[in-house]
Structure 1
Amino acid sequence: MGNFENDEASRARKLAKRRKTNLVLNSLITIVLLLIVFVTVKIFFGDGQSEAEKSDAVVVDKQLDSEKADVDSGNKDEEEAKVEEEKKDASDLEEESENEDLEEEVSEPTITEGGSSPDVKQTIVNSDWQPVGTTQTGEHQAVYDSASVDWQEMLKAISYATEIDVENMTVWFLGNNGGPQSAAGTVSDKGGGPKYRVAIEWVDGEGWKPVKVEELKPE
């Protein structure tokens, strides 16, 4: 009877120990499973969120770059427009200055009745007339050829004195006026009006200069 009770007690202790061991093992297995689930969720959902955040960051960067490019482009356009406006203003001022200089040069002419021949209605002289400039260099010799630079510069001087634009000018005569550096031309406006006989002289390094304009009587 005593041995039986001892065996029962021993068996009970073994069962209790086995249950305790199983409980510990089950607890450990549960913890491991939870860790596996946690890591799995972290890997998939955490990375997904990270990628989404990265994607959002890239989109934001692109938007910022685009906005910056638009701003830079707008500023560049404004600067270019401002430069063009300043150039135009400078050009207008220069043109106005040139026109004022020209007006001063042709101001207060002296006009007298008649002239060097009976067909002259009146003679116009202006001491403010200046040489019209030249692109020619070296020793000058008058060239009466319509294709020459000298011819074109003669017409420029005649236009300056008569205020008839070269493009609207009819040239009736252009030739020597009694000296190697003296010429005369008879011209009129293509649109009509009086004829003018203009005497010009060459100034070394400065070009042809008007010296006298004679308005001719109608034929």
Structure 2
Amino acid sequence: MAYSHHEDEPFYAFKELFKQINNGDDRQCLPIPHFLHCLEIQIDAKMNDKWWKQKGWLAMQTRYEERQKKRRQNLILNGLIAIVFIFIVIVGAQLLSSPSSQMEASQSPEENEQPLTKQTGEEESMNKSETGERDEDIASPDEEHMREEDGYRFVGGGPDGPWEPIGTKQTGEHVTQYTRDSLDWQEMEMALAYGAGIDHDDLTVIWLGNGGDPQRAKGQVKSDNEPNTIYHVTIEWIDGEGWKPIEVQTEQ
């Protein structure tokens, strides 16, 4: 039975050696010692031959292992290179972004202060408007009870007040006049009626005299509609503003 060198390569190699020993004739036989000596020489030559090493199973396995090792080494080396490249990119990005972030941080306080200033101005205006509204609300009750008559101004009034100077038409240095026809007497009557809460047309002056001070006067008045109620009113002169009630007592 013939064997192919693809099926049994060692046998084919041995057969080739046999031909070489017998000068190309594989049927010719040499003496055994000479044959063995020639066979040993040929085997040593084949073992040192490059073709034998490349065709041997051991050489093929060794090359496969070497290729696998080189492949693993290449994979490891490529992975390390990729890691180093990524690290360099990250560090470079941080270095590039750091100056811009610092500039933004240095500019942000000024930018933030401007809205705060605007907001503070708006709050001040709102506070002023609210204060004005509260002042108007506070002043509104007095204004509701305020009346003007012949150039005189009456705010609030009555035994419980509040009271303000009623104004005056007098000029120059004030001197209290207890004469009924004098302007000062007329203004004192208006101040007494204002403090007692009586209409000037319904006022009856029982007594009017000095209140213990040159710029003070005191009077007893009543209303024609309620003659049984007597009001003791003390008034005081305010320069440039006229007479002002400062105390009211009621007697039934």
TM-score range, shorter chain: 0.3 to 0.5
Q: Which has the higher contact order (CA 8 A, sep 6+)?
A: 1
TM-score after normalising by structure 2: 0.39
Larger relative strand fraction: 1
Larger-Rg structure: 2
